[in-house]
Structure 1
């Protein structure tokens, strides 16, 4: 593929890329010098276009077979393509010729880590440390190795050492935050971000990552400030816009969330996650018909995106289109059987349609997946209450209490159902426990007993307890 008549001048990277892609598409011959091929391969690697990067490496190695830069880059690309064994074999062969080359050793260590040979990888990185001038990158690789082991505490130490050697290593900063998050100490990443920002206040990615750290701590107002600083520096940074939208969703500020998602859509490739988030922000504003359009867009882009089908089902339920909702719930569950919300949604629809046996099965499946979510227990018991099966409702509440013994509402509901089942002694026991756990929640009892005389009798019992 090399033309013997070649121009010796340096091309700019874009014209080189255009010529390279034309050569591939039209199966032409075209000459590229070694430096240009390295630039092309590295460009594709950085862009995540690994197939094209691999082709550039292969073309280069056909004509320059002992070029270390192309060998190491090809091995890294193979690793990214989940072909770590092939990458490792390539490095081993190269090391027969260049046994002490540190770049080859670095890639070898990373590939060993990917192959889950963590101890060997650590040994190699520690060896490199003795000779490497830029030790921050070696410590960074050690941190990644420990993080995938997984040994997050050791990873934290390595990322901190990386930052000691180079406080401007932003990748180490991000991974330090990830490792601290894994050991439940995300708050310790904040001073590192602040120090980094003091040195480089115009790093929009640093502000963005600071926002993520605050979000993980549920410090949403501070997260918003960080994302907005990021966007003041780079208004088109889609990741900050997206996470700003998520933060507003957590604060239940759905109009602002919608605005952020719409701006994100202007600067990012349309994707199902973004469409679903935009749909959810509209759904929370009760704009169900408009929300439907974005959930449809999500599943159009990716027909396997289960969250899109669930969003469709929720909106259709709100629009009283129960049979259509049932269809999409079943579709979501077929794609993802482990999401308890999908099963609870299915149970709600089956119950509304009068299919109590199917609803029971769906509630049971939801609670098998997550037995610590009180609203599911309450909905299930309520279904049987509305069917007049008060003892079944009480039994469901007793099972719920076994799982959530500190949840006062469950005791009050047990008391309600037991009173309805004429089991007054047992009812008073649960009422008393509910009053001990959370006295103020007793008001929910009166919703179930509209008769004024009954309310007076219950109020009298509650007052006796208060005394």
Structure 2
């Protein structure tokens, strides 16, 4: 890691013979004396040459005679950071800060060192202190913005990054970071504008073209997204995510054969890649090449046995082929690997129902209600499978939950009324049935056409719901 700091000494003497000075330093004996200015020039020369150990040796000699120089301790911290000795770097920067607690550059470098140590919260505090001391410091604002974004504090990040961009519109990376933050905030137009600024500054950044393509895909501007991915790969043909996203975008267009060619390019470059085989399998399934799709899913799983999406896709193929028990096994494996994926649980529950595993299906639908407790449709599906298992009272409770979440759903009221009748709760059944007719008159027609005779011919029902023939 290269830690930021401008090491240049503005008052360095013109015409100093640095080579002679370096030669003397490298041939020095214990008795050789160098003044502080000479040692500082020596350290700077080594720093610029990337010889950080030698620079550190010169800085340590300065500190042996000037131990209370905050600026020198700062330089020591920077050098140790470049040597990836982050704990030692932090200690030196702490010493510098104790000598000069109001220096924004010390605080900025402390933040960078804390980032390298994985202490993002502490890093943000130091960057924030630097900005408070020097609100127009573009580097402090930039790093505070980046660190805030990593902590999920996106709006704060945007404010600091925008400050940096306003101060220096040609900053090397600020527009890229702004594009990322606006994407997270789902302000896609602002994200595109930021990425376009970054491209103006660095037209050969494949990462920026790639990210712009991602945002265009989210906006449904697929042709433009494809052009971005093409440019990404023109700049760097080895940028594997570009092939993945180009293939995925082609698949969204329904151009599955072309998508498969993109995924094959990944395999040609990497040899084996579980994600590429999985994506090829998904595209093959869309082409109704189910046997080919199964082979590709199995190949993906041979590389990465715990790839949940591949197990899910395999289960879907087995379902299409009527191999329901194999489908249940595959979907069960997918949910074991990705227990919070609602789609996986939905497919598992459906597969269990079709295979006749009704008790297992009940548990799967119950899990779905835990994952999405505020969706009335999930509760209706759960109620339906409970009813199929003869658990009428539990099914009623599930319908009540669905109705509470969406009182305007006629289907929930209608199906709820059927269960209430089975429980002998005639008045409540009539209330629910009437409500379904009120919300959707088509349910009265359905009632007339499909209602069991014992309900349809019940005089109280006919009177209550207004059926006179």
User: Is this a same-fold pair by TM over 0.5?
Assistant: yes
1:121 aligned partner: 89
Q: CA deviation at 1:204?
A: 6.6
Q: What is the alpha-carbon distance in structure 2 between the residues aligned to residue 343 and residue 368 of structure 1?
A: 10
Q: What is the alpha-carbon distance in structure 2 between the residues aligned to residue 75 and residue 282 of structure 1?
A: 46
Other structure's SS at 2:350 match: helix
2:300 aligned partner: 332
2:193 aligned partner: 225
Q: What is the alpha-carbon distance in structure 1 between the residues aligned to residue 318 and residue 158 of structure 2?
A: 48
> Where in structure 2 are the equivalents of 1:130-279 lying within 5 Å?
137-163=105-131, 165=134, 167=136, 169-170=138-139, 172-203=140-171, 205-232=173-200, 234-279=202-247
> Where in structure 2 are the equivalents of 1:29-178 lying within 5 Å?
68=43, 72=47, 105-110=76-81, 114=84, 117=87, 120-129=88-97, 137-163=105-131, 165=134, 167=136, 169-170=138-139, 172-178=140-146
Q: CA deviation at 1:152?
A: 2.1
In structure 2, relative to structure 1, the CA distance for the partners of 1:239 and 1:167 (3 Å cut) is farther
1:383 aligned partner: 351
2:251 aligned partner: 283
Q: What is the alpha-carbon distance in structure 2 between the residues aligned to residue 206 and residue 107 of structure 1?
A: 23
In structure 2, relative to structure 1, the CA distance for the partners of 1:396 and 1:153 (3 Å cut) is closer
**Structure 2 gap ranges (5+):** 1-17, 29-41, 65-71, 416-428, 439-469
Q: Tell whether the 8 Å contact from 2:331 to 2:348 is kept in structure 1 after alignment.
A: yes
In structure 2, relative to structure 1, the CA distance for the partners of 1:152 and 1:435 (3 Å cut) is same
1:50 aligned partner: none
Q: Tell whether the 8 Å contact from 1:272 to 1:299 is kept in structure 2 after alignment.
A: no
Q: CA deviation at 1:262?
A: 1.9
Q: Tell whether the 8 Å contact from 1:416 to 1:445 is kept in structure 2 after alignment.
A: no
In structure 2, relative to structure 1, the CA distance for the partners of 1:462 and 1:237 (3 Å cut) is farther
In structure 2, relative to structure 1, the CA distance for the partners of 1:436 and 1:139 (3 Å cut) is same
In structure 2, relative to structure 1, the CA distance for the partners of 1:443 and 1:294 (3 Å cut) is farther
Other structure's SS at 2:173 match: helix
Q: What is the alpha-carbon distance in structure 1 between the residues aligned to residue 306 and residue 47 of structure 2?
A: 41
Q: What is the alpha-carbon distance in structure 1 between the residues aligned to residue 397 and residue 183 of structure 2?
A: 42
Q: Tell whether the 8 Å contact from 2:164 to 2:174 is kept in structure 1 after alignment.
A: yes
Q: CA deviation at 1:328?
A: 2.8
Q: Tell whether the 8 Å contact from 1:203 to 1:230 is kept in structure 2 after alignment.
A: no
Q: What is the alpha-carbon distance in structure 2 between the residues aligned to residue 354 and residue 74 of structure 1?
A: 68
- C-alpha distance after superposition, 1:279-316 (max 9, x if no partner): 11111111111111111112222235432222111111
1:48 aligned partner: none
Provide TM-score, normalisation by structure 1.
Answer: 0.68
> Where in structure 2 are the equivalents of 1:318-467 lying within 5 Å?
318-439=286-407, 463-464=433-434
In structure 2, relative to structure 1, the CA distance for the partners of 1:432 and 1:226 (3 Å cut) is same
Q: CA deviation at 1:267?
A: 3.0
Other structure's SS at 1:218 match: coil
Q: Which has more radius of gyration?
A: 2
Provide TM-score, normalisation by structure 2.
Answer: 0.68
2:9 aligned partner: none
- C-alpha distance after superposition, 1:124-154 (max 9, x if no partner): 013345789x965543331122224333232
Between stretches 141-150 and 388-397, larger displacement belongs to: 388-397
**Structure 1 gap ranges (5+):** 1-33, 36-59, 77-86, 448-458
Q: Tell whether the 8 Å contact from 1:146 to 1:155 is kept in structure 2 after alignment.
A: yes
**RMSD between aligned residues:** 4.0
Q: Tell whether the 8 Å contact from 1:372 to 1:403 is kept in structure 2 after alignment.
A: yes
In structure 2, relative to structure 1, the CA distance for the partners of 1:93 and 1:361 (3 Å cut) is farther
Q: CA deviation at 1:212?
A: 1.2
Q: CA deviation at 1:446?
A: 10
Q: Tell whether the 8 Å contact from 2:281 to 2:292 is kept in structure 1 after alignment.
A: yes
How many residue pairs get matched?
383
- The structure 2 residue matched to 1:295, chosen from 263, 267, 277, is 263
Q: CA deviation at 1:234?
A: 4.8
